[in-house]
Structure 1
Amino acid sequence: MNRVVHPIEEESYRRMRARLDTSHLPPLTRAVVERVVHSAADLDYAADLVLDEPVLERAHAALHAGAPVVTDVEMVAAGITRRETVCRIRDARSGPGLTRSAHAVRLAYEQVGAGAIWVIGNAPTALEELLTLDARPALVIGLPVGFVGAVESKAALRASGLPAVSNVSEKGGSAVASAALNALLYHPVPPFPSSSEETS
């Protein structure tokens, strides 16, 4: 079913594109940049995000093939309206050396195993915990926000070599993390080539 875009959203994108030229970006990179900028009304994200088109292509395929989507907090899950998500924050407990968000990541990993798409927009400790696990993710959207640990956890994500969407600054949050995932959800799936195209 095609997504119906509200006229206010159409006008918002028109105004954004009048101030931010994204026409040179590859398709999925452009989709993520525009939706994140739109969600935050912050043009600086265009230079702050760290994206890789082949990574996004593989993640897009995994997402539309049914890969589980895991979020660190319910606010991120609430922003993802077209897909069921896993969020274990209500079941999690903090303890010595372990935040509640980190424990929620452990619980979610025990539930979904390898190959999921992780969307982390709130807690740097959730991202740090994910990097200790053998999660073999299809994608990590690592956009936690804050002045303590956010920059460092996102740098560690990029250094890990895992397929990722991240940003360089302290900025982030639930809205932009869910927006990055929604960009991949809303982007159309390429049609399969016809038999004549395959044999030509």
Structure 2
Amino acid sequence: MNRVVHPIEVESYRRMRARLDTSHFPPLTRAVVERVVHSAADLDYAGDLVLDEADLEKAHAALHAGAPVVVDVEMVGAGITRRETVCRLKDAESGPGLTRSAHAVRLAYEQVGPGALWVIGNAPTALEELLTLDADPALVIGLPVGFVGAVESKAALRESGLPAVSNVSEKGGSAVAAAALNALLYHPTSAEEKL
């Protein structure tokens, strides 16, 4: 099913591209960078994001083949269109040395198992917990925001060697994490490109 793009979005992308040249990026990288920049109206994301085209290609295939999408908070899930998400934060409890967000990641992993796409835009502790699991993710979009733990958790994600989208600054958040996933959702598959 083709997505209908509103004229405001078309004009917004035109203006963004007039200020930011993304033509040198490979297709999926370009899609993610542009959608994240668009979602935040922040051109600096083009130099702040860390991503790999080969990882994105595998994640794109997994996503379009039906791999589960897990989010750390419902706000991330609300921003992801055209796809159901798993969020276990309402079921989670905090305890000694464990935040609700970290417990929610454990619960979600028990539910979906390996091979999911994980979208973390709020809680660094959720990302930290995911890195302790044997989740074998299709992709981790690790873009938690904040001044405590966000930079460190994203650095740990990059050091883990897992397929990932992250950034090097404190910036991030639900909207940009959802935007990164939506970029993969909206990008056509090879079968759709032939239509």
Q: TM-score range by the shorter chain?
A: over 0.9
* Residue number in structure 2 paired with 1:187: 187
Shift of 1:169: 0.3
Q: 1:49 matched to which residue of 2?
A: 49
Tell me the secondary structure at the aligned position of residue 166 of structure 1.
Answer: strand
The two structures have a TM-score, normalised by structure 2, of 0.98
Cα RMSD (Å): 1.3
| CA–CA distance in structure 2, aligned partners of residues 26 and 35 of structure 1 | 14
Residue identity in the other structure for 1:99:
T
Normalised to the residue count of structure 1, the TM-score between the two structures is: 0.95
The within-5 A match list for 1:14-29 is 14-29=14-29
SS at structure 1 position matched to 2:115: coil
Matches within 5 A, 1:3-14: 3-14=3-14
**CA shift at 1:191, angstroms?**
2.4
Which aligned runs of 4 or more in structure 1 are off by greater than 4 angstroms?
none
SS state of the match for residue 191, structure 1?
Answer: helix
- The 5 Å alignment of 1:21-40 reads 21-40=21-40
d(CA) in 2 for partners of 1:133 and 1:60?
A: 22
1:163-178 maps to which residues of 2 (within 5 A)?
A: 163-178=163-178
Distance across 2 between alignment mates of 1:54 and 1:113: 23
Specify the alignment match of 1:197 in structure 2.
Answer: none
Q: Distance in 2 between matches of 1:163 and 1:16?
A: 27
Who is 2:72 aligned against? Answer: 72
- Larger Cα-atom Rg: 1
Look up the SS of the partner of 1:70 in the other structure.
strand
- For 1:83-128, what per-residue CA distance to the aligned partner results, in whole angstroms no more than 9, with x for missing partners? 0000000001111100000000000000000000000000000000
1:135-146 paired onto structure 2 within 5 Å: 135-146=135-146
Q: Which blocks of at least 5 consecutive residues in structure 1 are unaligned?
A: 195-200
Q: Could you tell me which residue of structure 1 aligns to residue 97 of structure 2? A: 97
Encode CA deviations 1:29-65: one digit per residue, 9 max, x unaligned. Answer: 0000000000000000000000100000000000000
Return the offset for 1:81. Answer: 1.6
**Residues 99-178 of structure 1: pairs in structure 2 closer than 5 A:** 99-178=99-178
SS of alignment partner, residue 43 of structure 1: coil
Matched residue SS, 1:59: helix
* CA apart distance, 1:181: 0.0
CA-to-aligned-CA distance 1:129-176 (integer Å, 9 cap, x gap): 000000000000000000000000000000000000000000000000
Equivalent residue letter for 2:136: R
Cα distance in 2 between the residues matched to 1:83 and 1:191: 19
